Amino acid sequence: QISAMNNTFDEDCNNLNVNAERLDMRNYTIKFRCIHGESDHDDGNGKEKQQEETTSSTTMSSTGATFSSNSSLKSQASSPLHELLTIIVTTSPIKSNPSTEVLERTFDTFSYAGIEFCYNCPKIIICDGCRIKQDESAVVTNKHANTKQRLRSGIATSKQAENYELFKIALRKLCDDAGSGVVLHGDDKKSLSPFRNTRVVELDERHGYGFALRHALRHEVSTPYVCVIQHDRTFMRHTPIQSVVQSMTNSNGCIKYVGMNMRSNLTYRDTFTTKYGSSSLNELLGMVLKPPELALDSSVFGPNGTSVKQMLEAQSHNKALQKNLKSLAQTYLVTVQSTSNSSNSTSTTTDATSEEDGREKDTTHQLSLTPTLFWYDNTHVCETSHYRDFIFNPAYKMVAKGGFVEDKLSPAIIRSVERLGLREGHSKFGCYILDDHSGYFFTGHLDGGSYMTTAEKKQLISGEARFNKK
């Protein structure tokens, strides 16, 4: 047993460094310090007013993979999703306030992640605070020169701050009207709102995305997993959140984070190859996971599944977008992301009866989890304890106040890999990207910073029509 108490992170996750060659093919336990119950008023540099020290244990195999003691999680694999997962939605001032249209459109896509996800899982909308720019005519830096960038940095005019307050009032009404309680399988879903079982939490001051998320994790979450969603990130098609949670629960802590793929990381393996070369790609491919929990119905997932058809049908009003999506899927077929996964993607089983008449009993399509060296803030599922005790541990300084989680954490992952090697350096972060290898992504982006509401669009069109008449 190796004790590594009171070690600092040294900017590269060195607290858990162990030479795998010395492990002699046996398992050892590493004890390290975790911080619980910290004050929310630290500056991200480890300066806390109050700290409660506890000891956690992690088991490391001789391969360098890190597994936490998750026997309690594994025993909950058969539990309903709402007992395992809390949905955290982060929001902040945007120019479309006081309209709640952005959040309504995002919540309307929750049904793509399943009925229980949409209606039964507890949801928390964490509303970040903002700083009010007193002198609206004052000179600002280029970084804050336009409204979108200024609001992104949490700086609002007095009028924008007023609109944000009205937005939060309207949001609370949406959640109150939606009600609470568990929806049973046979219940009528037509009259239900996706804002059901949702609470609004307001922060008094500007935290930024990372620390706002940290506040929710520390004070509002009691489930072992969280699904983190930004206010303008939508599901584009059927997404197997429940199966993802099951695969994480049964992984003995190996899978700590699963990101739903989006347009920019749809071909992550190609991006990785470009940066690190084909030899590193071979090692990465050896780390790709194909959990049995993600061997799903091929009539739903994969290139010919209803999930893809669902996505295309939802864009039937926009033929140009439909064409672009199909073109992207065709391009995907020749990427490393696709060709490196061509084998064992679909399997068919038959029983004695079906063999006689040639009928197929069951066809499954295997979804994959590709290791990533970038922690995407896009929609993802993560172990609550991984976020609380590791990612947001102030001693490690991996998240800065006012910033995004991915900004400092992703370089930390890369430094860990550079020091320890790909497999071992990645294992303590345990982050993966979900892909069903259909060539279509699971999540989209409304771009809340530039979003125009339906009413604003109508007003713009009406104004243009009047101008053309003149």
- Residue 172 CA to residue 125 CA, distance in Å, equals 10
Is residue 42 a contact partner of residue 394, using CB atoms and an 8 Å limit?
A: yes
User: Residue 78: pLDDT band by 50, 70, 90 thresholds?
Assistant: confident
Output b/e per residue, 448-459; b: 16+ Cβ within 10 A. Answer: bbebebeeeeee
Least confident of 69-83, 97-111, 311-325: 69-83
Q: What is the pLDDT of residue 298?
A: 95
Is residue 363 a contact partner of residue 298, using CB atoms and an 8 Å limit?
A: yes
Ramachandran quadrant class, 315 (left: phi over 0; alpha: psi -120 to 50; beta: rest): alpha
- Report the DSSP beta bridge partners of residue 443: 235
- Residue tagged 């990533």 (tokens): 372
- Residues written for the chain: 470
Q: Nearest 5 degrees, angle CA 393-CA 121-CA 399?
A: 20
Sign of the CA dihedral running 321, 327, 328, 329 = positive
pLDDT digits (tens, 9 = 90+) for 290-329: 999 999 999 999 999 999 999 999 999 999 999 999 999 9
pLDDT digits (tens, 9 = 90+) for 215-233: 999 999 999 999 999 999 9
How many other C-beta atoms are found inside a 10 Å radius of the C-beta of residue 327? 11
E strands, 388-447, where? 431-435, 443-445
What is the maximal distance between C-alpha atoms in the chain?
A: 84
Helix axes 268-276, 278-287, angle to 10 degrees: 140
What is the mean predicted confidence (pLDDT) over 379-396? 97
C-alpha 91, offset from chain centre:
15
Phi, psi (rounded to 5 degrees) for 252: 55, 35
Residue 48's identity, in one-letter code, is E
Please return the burial class of 11, using the count of CB atoms within 10 Å of its CB with bins 0-12, 13-18 and 19+. Answer: middle
What is the mean predicted confidence (pLDDT) over 8-22? 38
C-alpha 357, offset from chain centre:
45
Residue 325's identity, in one-letter code, is L
* Cis omega (within 30 of 0) for bond into 98: yes
